[in-house]
Amino acid sequence: MPELPDIELYLEALRPRILGQRLNGIRFASPFLLRTVEPPIESICQILVIAGRRIGKRIVLELEGGYFLVLHLMIAGRLHWKTMGAKPPGRIGLAAFDFPTGTLLLTEAGTKRRASLHLVQGEAALAGHNPGGLEPLATSLHEFRETLLCENHTLKRTLTDPTLISGIGNAYSDEVLHCARLSPVKLTSRLTAEEVDRLYAATVSTLTTWLSRLRLEHGGRFPEKVTAFRPDFAVHGKFGQPCPICGTAVQRIRYAENETNYCPRCQTDGKVLADRSLSRLLRDDWPRTIEEFEERSSTRSRRT
């Protein structure tokens, strides 16, 4: 799912292309994308786009007359800037937004149609799409600490809860926790003051660093390859690969459609966290420490 750095990059690429331009029309390739009927989508044809902003992981385009288009890309939604009149591609195309300067295509990989588009009018209606989480790059340490400790959840859940922290998902939460040297399953109620400070600094550092990297990588070009799996990530998507800090194999916890990646030596004091999908089956055979895990891996290698 595109997260805060990715959404900001999309907006930075869109603003010079569409602000002050009229939205000539929207061509829908999927009937499931538009989730609102009032106001009618036809009411924004030939209206100027005057601003673009981010609400959490949502892209918001403000148009004259107090209209707002709210686009949530969800997991597999992506944007592409093409020449004017370009058609949505095959089975993954969802919509085409036509401007005098070009066409913005919305695609979604896979068979599940989760991306959504809402048209609302007025700031009050727009506020209904704001989960209310803190903006991590525009908040103080004091506000961060209060939000972090207001409920007792694991750090992974807290960082990815949009009602608590805005714009962070599965990928960047892994990177933040690795940077902070904190376990994804540590409870917020058990954090020390020093650990809260460390997590705040890691959150700001990770997001700003990746924003800078992505800006440099794209150099003003429209971002066509937004992904949750980047070669320079420390742990996310790196199961079995060496941690860039200590060289220990990155481990994972799998649940539903998500996966949490972490370094057991840097983050969990050498403990291998139970993977729910495997530990129920293996029980006593599940390795408890990284030393035990590495010993079993070494034994398997010798046998093969």
CATH code, domain with 34: 3.20.190.10
| Domain span including residue 197 | 134-232
CATH code, domain with 207: 1.10.8.50
Q: Three-state SS for 60?
A: strand
Q: Give the end of a domain, one of 232, 253, 279.
A: 232
Q: 20-73 pLDDT, tens per residue?
A: 999 999 999 998 999 999 999 999 999 999 999 999 999 999 999 999 999 999
Q: Residues 238, 270: one domain?
A: yes
Q: What is the average per-residue pLDDT within 140-161?
A: 95
Question: Taking the model in full, what pTM does it have?
Answer: 0.89
**For residue 177, which amino acid is it?**
L
Q: Residues 39, 56: one domain?
A: yes
Q: What is the pLDDT of residue 292?
A: 52
Q: Residues 169, 274: one domain?
A: no
Q: Residues 123, 227: one domain?
A: no
Q: Residues 251, 277: one domain?
A: yes
Q: Residues 238, 293: one domain?
A: yes
Q: Residues 88, 103: one domain?
A: yes
Q: Residues 153, 242: one domain?
A: no
Give me the percent of the chain exceeding a pLDDT of 90. Answer: 83
Residues 6 or more apart whose CB falls under 8 angstroms from that of 211 comprise 4, 5, 8, 9
Q: Residues 254, 240: one domain?
A: yes
Q: Give the end of a domain, one of 91, 107, 127.
A: 127
Q: Residues 95, 142: one domain?
A: no
Q: What is the pLDDT of residue 293?
A: 46
Q: Residues 145, 122: one domain?
A: no
Q: How many domains does the chain have?
A: 3
User: What's the farthest any 2 CA atoms get from each other in the chain?
Assistant: 71
Q: Residues 83, 55: one domain?
A: yes
Q: What is the pLDDT of residue 289?
A: 52
Asked if residues 261 and 237 have their Cβ atoms less than 8 Å apart, the reply is: yes
Confidence of residue 280 (pLDDT cuts 50, 70, 90): very low
Q: Give the end of a domain, one of 127, 158, 176.
A: 127
